[in-house]
Structure 1
C-alpha cells in the first residue's frame, strides 16, 4: 500500500500560520473589553488569596462564605472609596471652576509672617514689596490659564466612568476566581509547563510571589500612609479630610508620596492663621512621609525575597508604561526575568580561578595566534 503521508510543504505552513494568527486576533478582539477588568481581578485575587484561605478556615471551611466576605472587603476598601472620590470631584467641580475664573484670585497676605521671631517683620515687608512690584499683575495674567487647567482636569473625570465599569468587571471576575482559584491556578501552571517545562512552572510561581510582594510592600504601605495622613488632616481641622485621604492613598500608590496632599494642607493652615495646628500637621507629615522607608522594605521581604530596587523600579516603570495596572505588571515582569536569569546563570559553577592567571592564559593564547598568522 502506498504511503500517502508526505511532509508539510511551504504553502501549508503559511496557511496554517495565517489561520492561527487570525484566530488569536479574533479571540483578542472578542475579549478586549474584559482584559483590563480580568487583569485587575487576577492581581487582586493572587495578592489576597492567603487571606481568603484564612477566612475560609475561620468560616467553618465554607468557600461560599469566604467568597462573600472577600467581596464585601473589596467593596468597602477598594471600589466604594474610588466611587466616592469621583462623585465628590464631580459635585465640587462647578464651585471650584467658578471661583477660579471669577477674577477674585489674589495672592495671600501671609500676616502670620510677623509672628516669626527676629526675621518675621523683614520677611513680611519683603513679601509685600514683591507683590506690589508686579505680583498682582502676574496673578491676573496667570488666572485664565489656571481656570483652563482646572477645567481640563475636571473634564477628565468623565473618563472615570469607564474606569468604574472596569472596577465592576474586576469585582465579578474576582468572585469567579475566588470560587475556582485552585482549578484556574493549576490550569495556568499546566499551560506554562507545556510551554517551557519546569522553567515555565517556576515563572508562574515567581509571578505570584512578585504580585504578593507588591501588594504587601506597595499597596499596604500606601494604605497605612494614607490613613495616618488622613487622621492628621481630620485632627487639624482640614475640610474634606475624607476626600483628601482617598486622594493621598492614590498618590502613595502612584509612588508620589503623601506630601503632595499634606504640604498644601500645611500651607493652608499657616495661610489662614492657624499656626499651632499647622506646626502639629508639619511634624506629623514628617513622620508619615518617612514611614515608607521603614515599612515598605520589611513588607516586600515578607512577600518575596527580591531586591527592593527591582520592585520599586518595576512599580514606577510599570505605572508610566501601563497606568495603574502597571503597579503590578512592571514588578512581575522584572521579578520573573530576574529570577529566571539568576537560575540560568547559577546552573554553571562560578569561576574559582585566579583572575590574573586567566588574563595570562588569554594573553598567551593571543600571542600564539599572532605568531601563527605571522608565519
Structure 2
C-alpha cells in the first residue's frame, strides 16, 4: 500500500509535469505565432545582411572619402543599388512591351513579312531540317502556323507573364533588402557586436571566429559566383552587341542570371551561334563563335582565382556549399549553403586538431611516466 509520503511525491511530480507541459506548449505556440508574424521579413532581412556584409568594404572607403559620414555613405550605396536594379528591369520591360505592341500593330495591319530560311539552316546537324520546316511554315502561311502551334504559344505567353510577375515581386523584395542593408551598414559596429555576442552565446569560444568566417565566406561567394557571372555576361554581351544580335541586352541579362544559378551560358549561346552562321558570312561567324565559347568557359579559370580569397576554407568546399544551397533554397542558398558548409569544415578541422592534441598529450604523459635509466660512466 502506498504511504502518504510517496502519494504526495507522486502528486507533486504529476503537478510539476503538467505545469511544465503547459509552459512548453504556451512557449511553442508563442514561437510559432511569432514566426508567422516575422516570416515575410526573414528573406529580406537575410538578403539585407548578405548585401551589407558584401558592400561593407566599399562603404568604409566611401566613408573615408566623405570624412567619416557613415550614414551618408550607406545611403548612397543603397540608392545606387536600387537604381542598378530598377534601370535594367525598366529597360528590359520597356523593350518587351514595345516588341509586343509592335507585333500587335503588324498583325492588325496584315503586313507581316517574315523572311524565309536559308539553306544554312537546313544544314545544321540534328535540328536543321525540323527548324527549316517550321520557319518556312511561318514565312509562307502565318495563320496556319499560328493555329498549329497555338497551344505552345499560349503556354509560352502564360509562362512569360508568370515570370514577369515573379520578377516584379523579386525586384520589390530586393529593394526592401537594400534599404535594410543600408541600415545595417550605417550601424555596422553595433550590428557586428550583436552578431558576435549571439555567436559566442550559441557556439562558445569559437563563435566570434565563425562570425568572421561567415562574413569572409559571403564575400568569397559574391566574388566567385556573382562576380564571375557578371564578368561572363559582360564578355558575351560585348560579342552580342558587336555583331548586332537582336535583343542583345535581354540575352546578356539572361546569361548573367544563368551564371548566378551556376548554369552554363551555352544554353543561350549555342542557338545564337546557329543564328549568326545563318545570317553572317563564315569569317565573322567563326570569330563570334570563338569569342562566345571562350567567354562561356572562362568561369573555369575565374572561379579558382576569385572564390575562396580571404578564407582558409578550400575553394571546392565553398563551391559545393554554394551549388547545393542554391538547389535547396534558391539564390539565397548560394550564400547560406557556402556559410553552413564552411562552418562544418571548420568544426571538422577543429575536431581533428583536438584529437591530435589529445593524442600528443597522452604520448607526452606516457614518456614522462617512464622511469629514468641512470647512465653509467
Q: Normalized against structure 2, the TM-score is what?
A: 0.77
- 1:66 pairs with 2:73: yes
**Deviation, structure 1 residue 79:** 4.3
- 1:214 pairs with 2:221: yes
**Deviation, structure 1 residue 66:** 1.4
TM alignment of 1:101-116, pairs within 5 A: 109-112=117-120
Aligned residues: 335
Q: Cα deviations across residues 259-285 of structure 1 (Å, max 9, x unaligned)? A: 222222222112224444322211111
Among 323, 329, 333, which residue is 1:326 paired with?
333
Question: Equivalent residue of 1:324, what SS?
Answer: coil
The CA distance in 1 between the partners of 2:290 and 2:212, in whole Å, is 43
TM alignment of 1:164-175, pairs within 5 A: 164-175=171-182
TM alignment of 1:327-346, pairs within 5 A: 327-346=334-353
The CA distance in 2 between the partners of 1:130 and 1:337, in whole Å, is 50
Query: Would you say the 8 A contact 2:117–2:132 is kept in 1?
Result: no
CA 1:155–1:131: 2 relative to 1, 3 Å = closer
The CA distance in 2 between the partners of 1:251 and 1:99, in whole Å, is 32
CA 1:269–1:225: 2 relative to 1, 3 Å = same
The CA distance in 1 between the partners of 2:52 and 2:45, in whole Å, is 10
The CA distance in 1 between the partners of 2:52 and 2:314, in whole Å, is 24
Moved more, 253-262 or 233-242: 253-262
- Gaps of at least 5 residues in structure 2 are 1-11, 138-144, 361-377
Question: Equivalent residue of 1:348, what SS?
Answer: helix
The CA distance in 2 between the partners of 1:266 and 1:99, in whole Å, is 28
What residue is the counterpart of 1:146 in the other structure? 152
Among 181, 195, 201, which residue is 1:194 paired with?
201
- 1:81 pairs with 2:88: yes
Q: Cα deviations across residues 328-372 of structure 1 (Å, max 9, x unaligned)? A: 12211111112122212221118999xxxxxxxxxxxxxxxxxxx
Among 306, 314, 318, which residue is 1:311 paired with?
318
- 1:240 pairs with 2:283: no
The CA distance in 2 between the partners of 1:316 and 1:141, in whole Å, is 42
**Deviation, structure 1 residue 87:** 4.9
The CA distance in 2 between the partners of 1:151 and 1:185, in whole Å, is 46
The CA distance in 2 between the partners of 1:201 and 1:9, in whole Å, is 38
What residue is the counterpart of 2:303 in the other structure? 296
Among 188, 210, 231, which residue is 1:203 paired with?
210
What residue is the counterpart of 1:24 in the other structure? 31
Superposed CA RMSD in Å reads 3.6
**Deviation, structure 1 residue 54:** 1.7
**Deviation, structure 1 residue 168:** 2.0
**Deviation, structure 1 residue 127:** 6.2
What residue is the counterpart of 2:265 in the other structure? 258
Among 168, 180, 204, which residue is 2:187 paired with?
180
- 1:162 pairs with 2:169: yes
TM alignment of 1:112-131, pairs within 5 A: 112=120
Q: Cα deviations across residues 96-143 of structure 1 (Å, max 9, x unaligned)? A: 79999x9x99997443479xxxxx8xx89x9669978xx97xx99983
**Deviation, structure 1 residue 24:** 1.8
Question: Equivalent residue of 2:331, what SS?
Answer: helix
Query: Would you say the 8 A contact 1:47–1:211 is kept in 2?
Result: yes
Query: Would you say the 8 A contact 1:40–1:325 is kept in 2?
Result: yes
The CA distance in 2 between the partners of 1:196 and 1:301, in whole Å, is 23
Q: Normalized against structure 1, the TM-score is what?
A: 0.77
The CA distance in 2 between the partners of 1:323 and 1:130, in whole Å, is 34
**Deviation, structure 1 residue 173:** 0.5
The CA distance in 2 between the partners of 1:178 and 1:48, in whole Å, is 8
CA 1:128–1:32: 2 relative to 1, 3 Å = closer
Q: Cα deviations across residues 267-312 of structure 1 (Å, max 9, x unaligned)? A: 2112224444322211111221121111111111324232222222
